[in-house]
Amino acid sequence: MGECTLCGLSTPEPPHTAPDVDGAFCCQGCLTVARTLDDAPADADPQTAVDTGPDVDTVEGDRAYFDVDGMHCATCETFLEAAATDAAGVRAAEASYTAGMVRVVFDPATAEPDAIADRISGHGYDATREGTASADDAQETVGRLMVGGFFGMMVMAWYVLFLYPVYTGVAPSSLLVDLNGPAGGFLFANVWVMATVVVAYTGYPLFRGAVVSLRVGHPNMDLLVAIAAATAYGYSTIAMALGQTDLYFDVAVVVVLAVTVGDYYQERVRRRAMGRLATVSDERADTARCRTADGTEAVPRSAIDGGDELVVKGGEPVPVDGTVVEGTAAVDESLVTGESLPVSKATGDAVLGGTTVTDGGIVVRADEDPTSTVDRLAETLWDVQSATPGAQRLVDKISAVFVPLVFVLAVGTLVVHLLAGSGATAALLTGLTVLVVSCPCALGLATPMAVAAGIRDALDAGIVITDDTALETAPAVDTVALDKTGTLTTGSMTVRTVAGHDEALAYASAVEQFATHPVAEAISEAGTPPDQPVTAFETIPGRGVQATVGDRTVLVGDESLFAARDWTVPSDVAATYDGAGDDAIASYVGWDGRVRGAVVVGDEVREGWQSVLDRLAADRRVVVITGDDRAAAQQFASHRSVDEVFAGVPPEAKAAVVDRLGADGTVAMVGDGSNDAPALGAADLGITVESGTRLAFDAADVVVTDDSLAALPEVFATTEGTRRRIRENLGWAFLYNGIALPLAVVGVLNPLFAAVAMATSSLLVVLNSTRPVGGEAGS
């Protein structure tokens, strides 16, 4: 048994092959994808779409995912990995700023996840397994902003009433307070205390980020902000102690508050919208019912060995991948395959870990290497996200050069002016002016303010942007790949057609109201049961159900249920049943020895999908990827705006398809299920609908909140306008620095004018960012 050339799954014997395609494939879907894309060399890496990641993937041990609050730049990754690996029992760790998480491999005999979380926490970081830290972190940040805002307003009030008039030439004697007297000393002491609270308390996360960036050797925006705020505060403190009145506590306060507000707003929106990889545990079985000689025994999922027989009842998830050795059941595989229709499983059939038995009961023999497909998808998602971080923040890249450059420039200016004969105080003020005028308020606000405006307009259009890199990526997309089930379709079962006796649906609804099968739920919701008692309900595994309605025994199920009883089927009812199509499930309804009707249930397409595809196709290539067969996707394949349909694609291969499509340009993937998560992560832009699973939310960069496709074209219109706004803001910020820095170096500016110039530059960025961006770009 080999590996699929496209997705890496095990291939059957013999594997799927074709003369015109190099390689061996696990299914016809992978073979079709390889043929269509003409990109499957025989020696290709089977995991082409997914980077295998660092050594953490090869280390043996239990795995745990920790949601970490306080990560706001890529430099945090190295710091957190070092902190995690220092914990007792931890064998490997990998941090991902993109996911906001740390993945840890540990020895369960010597380490506990809670202890590891405690080790990771500290220095401004807060790690949890259940994603609860974000609320606590947000509450703490609000507290810091409230305290900083209060004391910051008090600082600015003193400046407006007393200090600014002095700086603009108003004589001290005309003021209520003599700044050179005892009252002035009292005023300065108040300003110093309040500014200290703002800088030390509210600005703590910024200074902590600056220290972390120095420790890992990657200067970032936090370091830039910290230098500017600390220099203004430090100089003002020394100047105040020396009896001077030219103080710049206001600069420090404005820098800290403005940047903190921008960072908090971005993080709050991102946290609110994102799901967490750690919550995938809610979608899997943590325990299993293992059959023994004495009956059954509940065991942890981690204790399952290959060959163990596991009893799975209706409504329960299958713990691990395996083979049915006893019983029959309907299994909902939508979580891992995207297939909306339940699949009947009987002895000898393979079942996937993470799927759910909806009707009946089975005994599953665990595979030799017991794993769950849900877990495998989670690992694949992590690998894709970590190995494909996307574009780094432009400002952080600039900071790596700008921060040391400004610092060297300030020190050089100080030295040159001293050598030129300037006094020590004048030279120091000139050097400080260089730092203050280059204060990165405009540069620091350029991206977050434009992002905030873009997020605001996106929310108005029913779109949540969970990753600000989407604002740069979306406008460059030239291929949009859409999942079928749950994306182009609703993902929920509804009654399409009823044929035969007028009471067929009513009697079917009466019987099916006691079943848990998705088809049963659709029928029971569509029909109104007759006003008669329903008794003796019974499930006939793999075939249907029966019950007594009033004095009639009513059967609802597939053709074999009635054929076994040799019941008569009217020709018109049989025609409806046989013509249901590959994307629907048909059920007969009968009583008194005769089939009375047929009910066809299927997944409905979303309203307005044609017009959405037309708008997308105006500027981009549109493809559809589905786990269903070609017949089920025919209506999409025949649509004028769809360039290609990839049918029969298993979950692991979706990421490979997206990766290969990406060889020709920038790809956006639109999906809703956990099975789509790796593809969402592999795409340059991942988009999911609100009804999607938490794992899909974690992988997506954009979430359409109204559970429809109507807002999808607006994703590209809004993001293009936002990207333009970011570039405008950055252009202005660099223009400002390009003009102001030379003037500061030659001594034309003083710290006061530098502060005014900095504030003006920041104000222009804010005003530019608050303008609506949604209507600036085409779809």
Q: Which residues are catalytic?
A: 483
Using CA atoms, how far apart are residues 661 and 451, in angstroms rounded to an integer?
28
For 586, phi then psi, to 5°, come to -105, 140
**Helix, strand or coil, per DSSP, at residue 691:** coil
Q: Kindly give, in sequence order, each residue whose CB lies less than 8 Å from that of residue 486, ignoring residues fewer than 6 positions away.
A: 334, 338, 340, 671, 672, 673, 689, 691, 692
Give the closest residue to 302 by CA, choosing from 128, 113, 67, 108. 108
Using CA atoms, how far apart are residues 258 and 245, in angstroms rounded to an integer?
25
3-state helix, strand and coil shares in percent for the chain, rounded to the nearest 5: 50, 20, 30
**Residue 138 structure tokens:** 């947000």
In one-letter notation, the amino acid at residue 305 is D
DSSP string, 517-543: SHHHHHHHHHS---SS-EEEEEEETTT
**Residue 611 structure tokens:** 């017009």
Cis peptide before 14 (omega within 30 of 0): yes
Per the document, the length of the chain is 779
**Helix, strand or coil, per DSSP, at residue 317:** strand
User: Would you put residue 536 in left (φ > 0), alpha (ψ -120 to 50) or beta?
Assistant: left
DSSP string, 32-70: HHHHHHT---TT--TTTTS---SGGGT--SEEEEEEEET
**Helix, strand or coil, per DSSP, at residue 546:** strand
DSSP string, 245-268: ----HHHHHHHHHHHHHHHHHHHH
Place of tokens 């430090």: 234
Give the closest residue to 468 by CA, choosing from 620, 259, 262. 262
Rg of the chain over Cα atoms, rounded to whole angstroms, equals 32
**CA distances to 75, 80, 104 from 96, in Å:** 10, 9, 11
**CB of 721 within 8 A of CB of 774?**
yes
Using CA atoms, how far apart are residues 391 and 470, in angstroms rounded to an integer?
9
**CB of 152 within 8 A of CB of 198?**
yes
| Consecutive H or E run containing 193 | helix 182-197
SS (HEC) of 448-471: HHHHHHHHHHHHHCCEEECCCCHH
Q: Kindly give, in sequence order, each residue whose CB lies less than 8 Å from that of residue 568, ignoring residues fewer than 6 positions away.
A: 593, 594, 595
Neighbours of 24 (CB within 10 A): 21
**CA distances to 163, 174, 721 from 170, in Å:** 10, 7, 45
| Consecutive H or E run containing 323 | strand 322-332
Using CA atoms, how far apart are residues 121 and 69, in angstroms rounded to an integer?
9
**Residue 153 structure tokens:** 């307003």
DSSP assigned state of 125: B
Using CA atoms, how far apart are residues 450 and 483, in angstroms rounded to an integer?
31
